[in-house]
Structure 1
Amino acid sequence: MKFLIFILLTLTIELCSSYKVLVFNPAFGASHSNFLGKISDILIDAGHEVTMFIPVFVDGKKDLVGSKKVKNIVRLEQDPRIYQMQKEGATEELMRKKIWTMDSDISSMLGFVANFSKTAAYMGDFMFQQTELIENFRKEQFDLGISESLFVSAFALFDEIGIKSVINADSTLYMNGIKSALGEPAAIAYYPGLFSPIDDKMNFFGRVKNLMGYQFGMQFSTMKYVAEMEALPKSYKGPRDWQTQLDSVAFNFINSNQYIDYASPTLPKTVFVGGMQVNTKKSGKATLSKEWDDVLSQRKTNVLVSFGSNAFSSDMPDQFKKAFLEVFASMPETTFIWKYEEANATLASHLKNVKLTTWMPQNDILADDRLTLFVTHGGLGSSVELAYQGKPAVVIPLMADQPRNAHMLTRHGGALQLDKALLDQPDEIRKAIQTVLSDSNYKKNAERLAKILEDQPNKPKDVVLKHCDFAVQFGPLETLNSEGRHLNTLAYYSLDIALAVTVVLLILLYVLHLVVKFVFRLVKRTILRPKKKVD
């Protein structure tokens, strides 16, 4: 009887402590969906009820969920205006093909900003037209809302349906918009921006480039956010400025890990959760099927080649494909697993040491001791995975944040960076691969970083859950807000003080100049005054 009462009490406590969460997870990209999906999984495993709202932003990504545990899924089909724009521009196909040859710096993304701002506004407008959906959400009385700052209209939706506690969860290292809204220092003199091809040791021109990258990120965020806020209906009574929408979050999760990334000044609301999505071999959750176990058992050296979910190897220029095949052919004692997105492709059928696959369990393969090297584009998800699994890598950044991820990894000594402009030169690809394979320091350094991450004081999964619990219990704490978010640029960087000091010094110098000039004239008159004749 006592045991039964104990069980009932335990269940009652668990039910009382569980809460309802709405996760806004737009179908935009795999890395974004997977990140928010993993947060959902962590909450579900802890006994909380998660509803995932998936407004389709990119039609080709409409089936993305990022989680196998979420059962309550509400999907909003793509707005017809967005569908038409993306279809006419062939956005997905064009990007996949151009990504291999376009400039990897921020200038290549300028043409993308205006269209993205317009489509983001369309999505917010279309979403608020779904009055029945919004009313159903309001009736659910969610305790917590979680979204990514990619779309600020998500936070307006949370406000509209009455969610008081909100967490921003960015699948990137950080987003300039929310960093600015929170009043967090950008530290552009030594902290590489999201699109920075330069590490933290910057000369004058490096700082100029980093500043330009930061300003581009801010311009990108501001244009998009302003367009989204203007598209909201008149019936919406919440705040109309995007800064207020973002600075009211309880916490700001970023997909960064302090032991991988560069040191940076952060505020209490910023929480590092990078690595929460990685299952290591030590955790016992990284296992391989017989198919992949057999592949890795064929040879002593195994190399995984993957360029992520947005860059398809099948869309490479032919000279790039030819170069890779030549490298594979020259290393017959090495098994190459190549993520190649064309089903039943035959271009490598003459090579027994090449396994083409449209998909593979990347994390689980990286966790296997038999995997020797990872050739990667340096996407953030892949970068975090290889860091946690302790695998040496050749990083070939293609665009966006990948150049930054590449030098973030190479500074730890476990990776080598290769310029994508060299992908038509098999000798350069082979040289990079063999350099990492032959130098044991790459492996040692990669394993050391993995050990650091394994032993870090606060586990990212625990950090996510504890901060979600805290946000539900206490909501957004005003005491965590920085007054820096209300200051203009002159006041924030104390440039007004420097200007005032400069003016005072100039005035003092001018007065000193007048005094010296007066004294000089007085002395001159005294010395040169003609003496009176005495009779």
Structure 2
Amino acid sequence: MEGTSYAIGAPVIPSFMPASQGVTDDSTTFANRVVNMMFTATSWYFQVAAASVVEDVMVEKLGNSVTPIWAVVSNISFILTNTEPLLEFARPTLHNIVDIGGISVHEPKPLDEKWNSILDLRHRNVLLSFGSVASCKFMPLEMKTAIVETIKSFPDVTFIWKYEEPEDAPFAHGVENLFLSKWTPQNDLLADDRLTVFVTHGGAGSLLESATRGKPMIVVPLFGDQTRNAKLIVKFGLGIMLNKQDLFDSNEMSKAIGEILNDKSYQNAAHRIRDLLANQSSWRERKLLKTVEMVAEFGEMPELRVAGRNLGIIAYYNLDIWLMTAIVLTFVVYLLLLIIRLLFGRFLGSTGRMIKIKTH
């Protein structure tokens, strides 16, 4: 996040680096850069404010001798991130930032008889899961009804919907190609070749699992970094992004599902990223192990700390230099204009005298 990046001196460049909690991709249009600038500042402020609250509690409980949070962060040896560079907007980084995203994606387990029988019912299968924070049972009835209408329009496709209270879902009664389940073995289902499409909220964990298993996605972001994640999926051709308001529109959902099912480019892109990630899987574990071993053996790593972590915003972005340059250039232009004016005045004066002499 922006607060941590700033504290350790990592580049934060709003012109093309999407904010962690933003709603833009890495497009460099003027409008996109304006919006991303605002979200970058907001994301930075949110993290700094949250850390300030935590620090106040620490001081209250432990006294004023507590080391400030950002002082600890700025001198940290390594930062391990849940980021996979192949599934991220390309960006400059530091040597002490170690990306190990995907290391938490476990090897899939064989599906039991229940899930095997469901996947065998039809040639194509779709998994709907909106995470563990936002409960589908609290969706407006109109939204749930629209989702069911969408499902009914694809009778040759089986839909598995992670729904918290499947026993209390009268809107889904009688829909033969819909199965509601309080819990789903998401990683195991995504790893099965019989699963075709994943409809998700766009959480980082779900995206990593789906990309690792090579499944095209329909992403419906709800909050936080999910819109940014959805933009990433669209950029890489791995899926389609829908607004959560689109869940009220069965036609819009049907259009998206139909496109994913019938356009092989999404599947091809998903398989490509799957193969790329598979090539990196063992390297992530080695990076983690070597990083931890290095810190355990050598302790702090001042060699990897950049001087920029101690700079204020003005010095970090050379705003003082740009200001000084602007002042100097303005002064030079002013002098040039003044000299031109004086020379022009003298020229007019000498020309006037010559005209008077000729007339006399």
| Larger helix share, 1 or 2 | 2
The residue type paired with residue 75 of structure 2 is S
Partner residue in 1 for 2:24: 198
Q: CA deviation at 1:519?
A: 1.8
CA distance in 2, matches of 1:434, 1:464: 41
Equivalent position to 1:339, from 136, 148, 162 = 162
1:311-357, Cα deviation, whole Å (9 max, x unpaired) = 11111110010011112222222211100011523422312222111
- Corresponding residue SS for 1:335: strand
Q: How many matched pairs? A: 355
Query: Are residues 1:301 and 2:124 paired?
Result: yes
Instruction: Tell me the distance in 2 between the aligned counterparts of 1:286 and 1:364.
Output: 6
Preserved contact between residue 77 and residue 302 of structure 2 (Cα < 8 Å): no
1:456 matched residue in structure 2? 280
Map 1:324-473 → 2, pairs under 5 A: 324-342=147-165, 344-347=167-170, 348-456=172-280, 459-473=283-297
**2:335 maps to amino acid:** V
Give the 3-state SS of the residue equivalent to 1:431 in structure 2. helix
Matched residue type, 1:271: V
Tell me the distance in 2 between the aligned counterparts of 1:397 and 1:533.
86
Single out whichever of 374-383 and 495-504 deviates more from structure 2. 495-504
Q: Aligned partners of 2:284 and 2:332: how far apart in 1?
A: 56
Identity %: 35
Partner of 1:525: 349
**In structure 2, C-alpha distance between the alignment counterparts of 1:353 and 1:443, rounded to whole Å:** 22
Residue 524 of structure 1, CA deviation:
2.6
The aligned counterpart of 2:94 is 267
Aligned AA for 1:501?
A: T
Q: Any conservation in 2 of the 1:276–1:459 contact (CA below 8 Å)? A: no
Moved >6 Å (runs of 4+):
none
Cα RMSD after superposing both structures: 1.9
Where 1:253 maps in the other structure, the secondary structure is strand
Contact residue 187 and residue 265 of structure 1 kept, 8 A: no
1:457/1:362 CA distance change after superposition, 3 Å: closer
> Matches of 2:216 and 2:342 in 1, distance apart?
74
Q: Is the 8 A contact 2:102 2:208 kept in 1?
A: yes
**Whole-angstrom CA distance in 1 between matches of 2:160 and 2:53:** 44
What's the offset of the Cα at 1:518? 2.1
Q: Is the 8 A contact 2:9 2:309 kept in 1?
A: yes
Q: CA deviation at 1:223?
A: 1.4
CA deviations 1:345-393 (Å, max 9, x no partner) are: 3422312222111111101110011111111111111011100000011
Structure 2: which 5+ residue stretches go unaligned? none
Distance 1:507 1:291, change over 3 A: same
Give CA-to-partner distance per residue, 1:75-132, whole Å, 9 cap, x none. Answer: xxxxxxxxxxxxxxxxxxxxxxxxxxxxxxxxxxxxxxxxxxxxxxxxxxxxxxxxxx
For the residues of structure 1 that align with 2:169 and 2:50, how far apart are their CA atoms? 43
AA aligned opposite 1:475: G
CA contact (8 A) 1:189 1:207 kept: yes
Q: Is the 8 A contact 2:22 2:228 kept in 1?
A: yes
> Paired residue for 1:217?
43
* Contact 2:128-2:198 within 8 A present in 1 as well: yes
Residues 31-72 of structure 1 deviation map (CA, whole Å, 9 limit, x = unaligned): xxxxxxxxxxxxxxxxxxxxxxxxxxxxxxxxxxxxxxxxxx
Conserved? CA contact 2:247–2:253, under 8 Å: yes
Task: Establish whether residue 244 from structure 1 lines up as the match of residue 68 from structure 2.
Answer: no
How far does residue 477 in structure 1 lie from its aligned partner after superposition? 0.7
Which one-letter code corresponds to 2:248 in the other structure?
D
Which residue identity is paired with 1:341?
A: E
Which residue in 2 is equivalent to 1:150?
none
- For 2:85, the equivalent position in structure 1 comes to 258
Query: How far off is 1:202 after superposition?
Result: 2.7
Task: Give the 3-state SS of the residue equivalent to 2:248 in structure 1.
Answer: coil
Given that 2:103 and 2:281 are in contact with CA atoms closer than 8 Å, whether structure 1 keeps it comes out as no
In the alignment, is the contact (CA less than 8 A) between 1:193 and 1:210 conserved in 2? yes
| Conservation of the 8 A alpha-carbon contact between 2:100 and 2:284 | yes
TM-score (norm 1): 0.64
**Deviation at 1:236?**
5.2
1:458 deviates by 6.1
Structure-2 separation of matches of 1:268 and 1:366:
33
TM-score by length of 2: 0.93
Change (3 A) 1:279 1:229: closer
Q: Distance in 2 between matches of 1:532 and 1:346?
A: 107
**CA deviation string 1:285-336 (max 9, x = no partner):** 4322222222212221111000001111111110010011112222222211
Aligned to 2:133: 310
Equivalent residue letter for 1:203: T
Larger displacement relative to structure 2 (333-342 or 293-302): 293-302
Q: Deviations over 1:148-197 (max 9, x none)?
A: xxxxxxxxxxxxxxxxxxxxxxxxxxx22111101111111011111222
CA contact (8 A) 1:390 1:443 kept: yes
Matched residue SS, 2:287:
helix
CA distance 1:288–1:457, change in 2 (3 Å) = closer
Distance in 2, matches of 1:291 and 1:236, equals 58
What's 1:514 paired with? 338
Amino acid in the other structure paired with 2:346: L
Matched, 1:207 2:33: yes
Assess if the C-alpha contact under 8 Å between 1:340 and 1:357 holds in 2: yes
| Residues 334, 353 of structure 1: 8 Å contact kept | yes
